[in-house]
Copies of this chain bind each other. A is one copy, B any other.
């Protein structure tokens, strides 16, 4: 195995200590140790955590208001069972650059073992060679182990002191809201400890409980050591007693296996038998036994989840690091979840956010559905509290807390907390995705349906049919994912997700009613669910208001986003990022500036609800406004960049999300790893480069391999079919194990039973024609109609000016003529004149016949048909249908874009993109043929191959240029796709 299976360091540096502690974290989703040294010094934050083990502290508000969250929850620093401290001769060992002669530390993703090797020369000159290894068992929830070995000159006394070390004070930054709070008093109270020799081991056990949350904890360490070592207990006034091991033979080995057991609810005691069983296991397995199991467990994990990259070693390692850390941080017991920083630091207090569902879950849903299921079970375990919270907010249904461990809202700043109601839809989305992908509907009747309905209910009550917005369903005073805006009306993301949630919930209700009548009746009785409610959900979903700006043709982030002042990106100092640390919220909220993907995230999650040109236009609008100050931003921006065909930008973001912690890009890795970004790096590979999406029940791939890469390989499981996808520059291989499955490679459908190899690059599957000047020339008809009007009004107009009207809408054509003549007209007259011109023009069109089809076009169309390549007409003309009819071409094309539906005409990409969409094709599978510069720009923005015809376009602007339609050859167009 190469370097990509581990991270390592070979130089000790004080400066890197804090962030390296996070990077070298080990854990198993239940128990987590930051990568601090076993001797706990020097250390930044020697944190030991149990997922979901927290203390409560009251939140103080300068000014209280009704319904604000009352208690904070903090994931506690726990006693450290791994701790040992070494004295050689008379000197205490400690890492320092002056005494460490050789240093190497690695965390191995394939063995799951953290290993440190040190050659130490003590200040007085004694040399020692020491190795520490440790692991937290991925197979045994409660167990961990360390092994220490030392070699020095014989006769030198070596003393190793071991204890269960009490937590030290946690570092803190009062002015960074992302760092955890300090607790006012030590929250852990010791309730007892025992020390004993037992079966030849030395065993120490200690029990604790918390003051406010009233949770119990028992942890224990079992020492296994050489026979010639002397062991003794040594009391000590500040911490628990030490066990001291002494030897002077020149070598020394000590193994310490340990367990942690906590209780899952307040006031419960730790079950003695379970703890004893853990102790027996620790004794029987020892370090080697646990290490062997660890390797097997990881082999299984990598087999299902690995992503292989050929062509970028740094990314390859980062990806494996990220997935490994994700595995280590994610709770799988159905009563815990995945915290923002996992089990790797105190940042965000160990709270669970929406990150779990929207960022973490896709990886698990597609590779380890069992873990995804347990994350859903966690949400079900706190449903009752979500219901209570909703009531506290005077709403029906259930509202999940924005940040929590135990299910109570812990956000002390509601504008970027409770107001982020979208978490309800995020949770529902992840459950629907889980069901769609795995086919496992059993979750629904195990209680998840109740969750989906109670959260849908919340939306129905929160919004209202707004007469001031045409009776659409509006949701006011919310905060979307982007925390640089707060308390807005109709956040696009929130409304789009609520729309989806409500529709799916009503669909599931219908389904359950017929398929699971008994369960359905019981549920309706339990939560007093009525038929009318379900119709209301459907209606609210159908009439959901999604903000749209016709001027820009984009979805504004919310009702007032475009009313904000532009942020002066160029003029504001670069060092004042992240903005949240340098500007008052009142400043930030006033500008068109984003912390993170918001509308763009909806474009990814609900990709099939928005046509490609719309996704691209929205993305192009938001991309320059997005600071990426949130670690949740990069992966989403990157995937949508890929979707829009911008591989370079996609890769920049892919690197940002993948290397975020390894390269400490956000300068706060010290407080813990960014689990959402880590999971996002998997999405970058699979959704970004692999272009993977579920299209209904069909997995679809749309590979875009970066230029220098030789291969990307990943696996996804859809229902019972495990798919392996291997993308190389030339070919893409799809393999399935399990049942055969229908997949798509771009628009091409493939029935996969075993393995299929296809070309990676897109094939030509559609040709999209402009009308005027390509299929026929109505140029002269337009000219004459405008000329008639111009002459009547006494305006200057000639063929030269007419050139400027090509590919331009009727209104804009008139405007060009008016501007040229410096004439201003009122709206009514403008419309009258447009009508008049059109009437004259249409009148003249009656003279068109089949003979007016331009040369070569009919030939090209029949060749395309022969090859099975689809065709469409993308014209700005509202008369297109009429003209085609006159030309007897009304059945010659697979699709004609209805011009009246087009929001933005050429040079925007919309009209060509609509044509491709209607043909069921991706832009890169199409070529467009145009005779006007605006049209060519439209084709290129649509990411299609551009074929230019005639004098109004230039050769250099096009992928292919022909002087006239007679010169159009299919083989030339096909060449563009080779």
Contact = CB atoms under 8 A, between A and B. Distances in A.
Interface of A: 59-69, 72, 174-177, 181, 392-395, 411-419, 464, 466, 468-469, 474, 476-477, 486-487, 489, 559-560, 562-565, 580-587, 589-590, 828, 831
Given A393-B584, A394-B587, A560-B559, A62 B65 contact: no
Given A67-B586, A476-B564, A828-B828, 5 more contacts: A62-B72, A62-B413, A64-B175, A466-B563, A486-B487
Contacts of A59: 62
A468 B565 CA distance: 10
Which of A66, A413, A487 gathers most chain B CB within 10 Å?
A66
A411 B487 CA distance: 19
Contacts of A486: 487
Contacts of A582: 66
A63 B177 contact: yes
A391 B487 CA distance: 25
Nearest to A393: B584
A550 to B, nearest CB: 13
A774 B589 CA distance: 57
Interface centre among A60, A174, A486 (most CB of B within 10 A): A60
A563 to B, nearest CB: 6
Given A559-B560, A563-B466, A586-B393, A580 B476 contact: no
Contact of A66 (B63, B476, B583): B583
Contacts of A584: 65-68, 392-394, 414, 418
Contacts of A395: 587
Given A581-B66, A586-B477, A831-B828, A563 B61 contact: no
B487 A589 contact: yes
Given A64-B176, A413-B61, A584-B393, A590 B72 contact: no
A62 B60 contact: yes
Nearest to A832: B828
Contact of A580 (B65, B411, B489, B590): B65
A16 B469 CA distance: 51
A62 B586 contact: no
A562 B59 CA distance: 35
A498 to B, nearest CB: 15
10 contacts: A59-B62, A63-B411, A63-B417, A65-B177, A66-B175, A66-B582, A67-B583, A393-B587, A476-B564, A489-B560
A127 B804 CA distance: 110
B477 A64 contact: no
Nearest to A590: B477
A463 B414 CA distance: 26
A65 B587 CA distance: 12
A414 B580 CA distance: 15
Contacts of A419: 586
Contacts of A589: 477, 487
A184 to B, nearest CB: 11
Copies in the complex: 2
Contacts of A580: 65-66
Contact of A64 (B174, B394, B414, B476): B174
A61 to B, nearest CB: 7
A79 to B, nearest CB: 27
Q: Is the interface of A mostly helix, strand, loop or mixed?
A: loop
A590 B582 CA distance: 30
Which of A62, A69, A174 has the largest number of chain B CB atoms within 10 A?
A62
Nearest to A60: B60
A580 B66 CA distance: 7
A936 to B, nearest CB: 30
A421 to B, nearest CB: 9
B392 A65 contact: no
Contact of A586 (B416, B418, B562, B828): B418
B583 A413 contact: no
A215 B394 CA distance: 46
Contact of A62 (B69, B464, B466): B69
Contacts of A565: 464, 466, 476
Most central of A175, A417, A563 by chain B CB within 10 Å: A563
B563 A394 contact: no
Contacts of A394: 583-584, 587
A418 B586 CA distance: 9
Contacts of A590: 476-477
Nearest to A572: B394
B563 A476 contact: yes
A49 to B, nearest CB: 21
Top-7 shortest CB links A-B: A62-B412, A67-B584, A63-B413, A59-B62, A477-B590, A63-B177, A60-B60
A477 B393 CA distance: 24
Contacts of A174: 64
Contacts of A583: 66-67, 394
Contacts of A464: 565
Contact of A414 (B65, B416, B489, B585): B585
Contacts of A62: 59-61, 69, 72, 181, 411-413
Interface centre among A63, A72, A176 (most CB of B within 10 A): A63
B487 A487 contact: yes
A60 B57 CA distance: 13
- Residue from A61, A412, A583, A589 having most chain B Cβ neighbours under 10 A: A61
Nearest to A582: B66
Contacts of A69: 62
A564 B72 CA distance: 32
A68 B174 CA distance: 12
A474 B566 CA distance: 13
Contacts of A414: 584-586
Contact of A559 (B412, B469, B563): B563
Contacts of A468: 562-563
Contacts of A831: 828
A471 to B, nearest CB: 13
A563 B177 contact: no
Contacts of A175: 64, 66
A159 to B, nearest CB: 45
Nearest to A560: B489
A541 to B, nearest CB: 18
Contacts of A587: 67, 393-395
A563 B474 contact: yes
Given A415-B415, A466-B563, A585 B489 contact: no
Contacts of A66: 175, 580-585
A764 to B, nearest CB: 43
A563 B392 contact: no
Nearest to A72: B62
Nearest to A412: B62
A460 to B, nearest CB: 13
Contact of A412 (B61, B72, B177, B392): B61
A174 B474 CA distance: 35
B177 A413 contact: no
A64 to B, nearest CB: 5
Contacts of A413: 61-63, 65
A199 to B, nearest CB: 49
A45 B830 CA distance: 75
A23 to B, nearest CB: 26
A66 B419 CA distance: 20
A191 B518 CA distance: 79
Nearest to A579: B66
Nearest to A469: B563
Nearest to A71: B62
Nearest to A178: B63
Nearest to A174: B64
Contacts of A181: 62
A295 to B, nearest CB: 42
Nearest to A181: B62
Nearest to A403: B63
Contacts of A586: 67, 393, 414, 418-419, 477, 487
Contacts of A392: 584
A393 B563 CA distance: 21
A560 B587 CA distance: 20
A72 B784 CA distance: 77
A674 to B, nearest CB: 18
